[in-house]
Chain A
């Protein structure tokens, strides 16, 4: 699929934004200032961006515990996300959600999710809205290989097929499900299994933005033609542990190092667009430093952000009343 210079620059910037966001969080996490569980998306950028570059605010996504990349790719404000991760009252979810629950409904981002397999059924519901509106919008659920074994995901796939919904199930195979290999727990071939549900599967190289972008174009064509749901399966890796602090005893010592050298979505992208043409390295370098400075600034402002008080804790349980302190 042909993409303009502007498209390509924007895609690169989004991928760099995610990488920088996560690398920075990895460093900041060591200071102990960030509370709770943080699951980083670095290594999988091409998938979130290759898919979300096709979407607008009218389209929906559901995400996972490893949600930062999906959030950024779908248009959530990285600064407000950072404030949320630092638990600030002016964070995207007022400090009540945290890393695992970032959401921005106005952007069509229906939430990261602490429950593996929690997102796909919700995204099926959003697809019902898309169908009812009839405006060509679609709904996409992101999920890891591990999540593909959850009954809720099976139910969601079948429901979407039965109702012929404009719904795309994305499975990101990053090799692991917490401390266990994905191959151990997916008892059969995930592509065949998904096809068995009646979903055509579009496959992509999860390290290659252009491959994912093309697969998503094909998936969208299928869905928008009214043929019902489909799936997109892409392999990548995560550069960090399952969560920050994970000793990664299940992983060979040099696995990540090797992958970083040979399989890096950003390096791959850079090589592709500079060697074959439209961009030169300096333009990308400029994006890199601009994004790095921006993220640095997000962290600085997040650290200085206001802490939430009791009124934040008690509000929004219901629309029309709240408990007294």
Chain B
């Protein structure tokens, strides 16, 4: 184990998989950077968050492909290459840009295997940075997992720590289905223990981060560390809870959630996305449908409001569910106010 940032862990996974399998290729805007620039450097960016840094030096421009600003064609490039034997890792710099590439993702990529009678496979990984936290405004801050998890055929994962970042990216690359791989941009510098050497973490399955007695708190992404902060506050009041990191929003690990709920009887879901048709709603529905007899009170959803992500610091802070709001919701669930 070595302590590394999420950024470095992701980078390590890409090196690991590209060394292992020559069919793994990387494509996107500025994934290396510098082409046509005056400095002569061909590793001038390595992705705007530095995740693909150094790849071009080892693997060259045939496997590390800088593209024009053409998101639809970037995903198309990955799709066609995948159908014909490659394992592309396409980067959409910001998850919000998915709009430009949506047809290639949800009408094409997601449906190949099914529509083509099970004969086709499209092992594409679409990496994107997501989430608020940088005051990047309404078109650079969204969490789009709810929307994409609604599409049959896509697997959607949201690692919350460096070990999962490395292990899940490697697993996503080896997976034979399309995987939407969402990296929270506020977590890139978060550090943690990462297994050395070849490391694979399962794509499916939630993770019980900590156990407690009073409630089940289901969350993901940046809301995991925020919920841990809430836990520290609540511990002083004698409230403890099971904290479940979803890791994957498609599929959802129902078993772990329901098992925990059967022990605690109370459910709080913390989700950075907008509330309508969200993962938070989905989990509430699972609880209502399959865990009803365990519930000792209403399910509480802690989400962003039904608004675009606002720009100003004060507004973004209000928008994102923070540790205080999370703690208040858990307190309410446990004490009924």
Contacts and interface: CB of A to CB of B under 8 A. Distances in A.
Interface of A: 35-37, 87-89, 93, 95-98, 100-101, 113-118, 146-147, 149-152, 176-187, 248-253, 255, 307-310, 312-314, 317, 323, 325
Residue in B45, B69, B139 with the greatest tally of chain A CB atoms within 10 Å:
B69
B235 to A, nearest CB: 28
A16 B54 CA distance: 41
Interface in B21-40: 29-30, 33-40
23 contacts: A35-B311, A36-B134, A37-B136, A87-B135, A87-B315, A97-B311, A98-B137, A100-B140, A114-B96, A117-B69, A177-B29, A178-B29, A179-B37, A180-B29, A180-B33, A181-B37, A249-B33, A249-B34, A249-B39, A250-B38, A308-B312, A309-B314, A323-B305
Given A98-B312, A151-B73, A323-B306, A115 B139 contact: yes
What does DSSP make chain B's interface, helix, strand, loop or mixed? Answer: loop
Contacts of B305: 313-314, 323, 325
B45 A249 contact: yes
Bin chain B's interface residue count: 35 or more
Contacts of A186: 68
Given A179-B44, A185-B68, A88 B312 contact: yes
B72 interface: yes
Given A180-B37, A181-B35, A250-B33, A149 B69 contact: yes
B107 interface: no
Interface of B: 29-30, 33-41, 44-45, 48, 66-73, 96-97, 99-100, 134-140, 305-308, 310-316, 318-319
Nearest to B30: A179
Nearest to B40: A252
Given A114-B96, A149-B70, A151-B70, A184 B311 contact: no
B137 A97 contact: yes
A95 B69 contact: no
A96 B306 CA distance: 14
Contacts of B68: 146, 149, 177, 185-187
Contact of A323 (B40, B307, B308): B307
A147 to B, nearest CB: 6
Contact of B311 (A95, A116, A182): A95
A309 to B, nearest CB: 7
A119 to B, nearest CB: 12
